[in-house]
Amino acid sequence: MATPIGNMGDITHRALEVLSQVDRIAAEDTRTTARLLARYGIKTPMLRHEKHNEAASAEGLVALLVSGESIALVSDAGTPAVSDPGARVVNAARARGIEILTVPGASALTAAFSISGFPLPLVFHGFVPKKVDARRSLYASLSTGTHAFYCPGRDLKTALTPLGKREVFVARELTKIHEESLKGEALEIGGVLERSDSLKGEAVFLVHVPNEKAVVDDLAIKARLKELMSDGMSTRDASTLVSQTLDLPRRRVYALALEGFEDE
């Protein structure tokens, strides 16, 4: 189930009901979850379910579920199993025929994307690779669209620098008192962040990769058509060749050929 990513008021009514009604809460960090429970007067027992004990913990949680107990799975903030522990126990429980329900709510990924102004498709890569070579290789392979990464605040500048002039959107401290978002070229944003006094916690950054196929204007198309047709090629054949060479719709090229070249 999702829990707030910063502002405690973002918890849903349904989430509070479930947290108070289940037999146990499996939390990534019981201290963090304890503060949330205390605010709303919830006293449900907790178990720790984190990355370092995930395998053993998953087995124990499934055993409790098989025995008839109900368990709510939460991470420190946001939605479990989205770059947080959760997938292993979900798969193990499903394999035993246990019903799994989602309690949706806050997510840093969707919160950042919703104010980025970037278009779909959206591809989420989880945490940005720590190794420089792996990071650069991944950046070089990014397809057209928007790509989202989680990143520790202290690593933002080094993560953004290899993106050069790519347009990025960076969101920090989402829903908190010092919420900040920046949009612009990666190098420029990296410079701004370098001058920041504090880059605590985690951030989300999105990279927009535009469709970089060359834009060919009508004059350039007509110039090529005129050249081919002056050498004796038919209108139809010249249009076909130009459309294939420039990767353009044949209908568009043929229509331009029919217009003639009086003004060229």
Tens of pLDDT, residues 177-198: 989 999 999 999 988 887 776 6
Burial class (CB in 10 A: 0-12, 13-18, 19+), 68: exposed
Question: What percentage of the chain has pLDDT greater than the value 90?
Answer: 69
Q: What tokens appear for 241 in the block? A: 């060749």
Query: φ and ψ at 206, to 5 degrees?
Result: -120, 140
Name which of 6-10, 126-130, 239-243 the model is least confident about. 239-243
Domain 8-95: assigned CATH number:
3.40.1010.10
| Three-state SS at 193 | helix
Residue 215, pLDDT score: 67
Spatial contact of 169 and 181, defined as CB atoms under 8 Å apart: yes
What is the torsion angle, in degrees rounded to the nearest 10, for the CA atoms of residue 64, residue 88, residue 94 and residue 149? 130
Band of residue 217 on the pLDDT scale cut at 50, 70, 90: confident
For position 189, what pLDDT does the model report?
A: 94
Q: Which two tokens stand for residue 135?
A: 């990071």
Residue range 108-209 in CATH 2.40.30.260: no
Q: Is the pLDDT of residue 129 over 90?
A: yes
What is the pLDDT, as a whole number, of residue 188?
A: 93
In terms of Cβ atoms closer than 10 Å to its own Cβ (0-12, 13-18, 19+), residue 158 is: middle
**Would you list the domain boundaries of the chain?**
8-95, 108-209, 218-259
Render pLDDT for 103-113 as a digit per residue (tens, 0 to 9). 999 999 999 99
Summarised one tens digit per residue, pLDDT across range 63-113 is: 999 999 999 999 999 999 998 999 999 999 999 999 999 999 999 999 999
Mean of the pLDDT values across residues 154-166?
Answer: 92
For residues 264 and 261, what is the distance between their CA atoms, to the nearest angstrom?
Answer: 5
CB 229 within 8 A of CB 236: no
Q: Torsion over CA of 228, 230, 236 and 240, rounded to 10 degrees?
A: 10
Angstrom distance (rounded) from CA 152 to CA 129: 11
Full-model pTM: 0.78
Checking if the pLDDT of 264 tops 50, the result is: no
Share above pLDDT 70 across residues of the chain, in percent, rounded to a whole number: 97
